[in-house]
Amino acid sequence: MRDLSTLRQGWDEIEAEETRLLRELTVQESMSQLLRLQQAFEPQLQQTEALFRADRIAYLGELQRRLRRHAEWLEEQSQNNLV
């Protein structure tokens, strides 16, 4: 059996690769990926809805805040480019 430090190192490498790949996605690609995942897991999401409702609501609220900040940033960039 591999020792814990070896497993952690392997996991760190996976997380680093995941981060790199996510940074390469556009917002549209990220949203498309999220919707594909939701569609794939919809039956499980419905079955566990009551268990994870509060977490999902909190996540969706955070997603809305991030999207709003992104839209504001895009608007600022657009206005800065006009000047």
Give yes or no: residues 63 and 79 share one domain.
yes
Question: Whole-model pTM?
Answer: 0.46
**23 and 53 fall within a common domain:** no
Same domain, yes or no: 29 and 55: no
Strands (E) located in 25-78: none
Q: Is 65 found in the same domain as 37?
A: no
Tokens of 81: 């480019």
How many structural domains comprise the chain?
A: 2
- pLDDT tens digits along 1-54: 567 677 677 788 888 888 887 788 788 888 898 899 999 999 998 999 899 899
37 and 1 part of one domain = yes
The C-alpha atoms of residue 76 and residue 25 are separated, in whole angstroms, by: 21
pLDDT recorded at residue 3: 72
- Residues 56, 83: one domain? yes
Separation between Cα atoms, residue 13 and residue 16, nearest integer Å: 5
Residue 63's domain comprises 48-83
Q: Specify the pLDDT at position 36.
A: 93
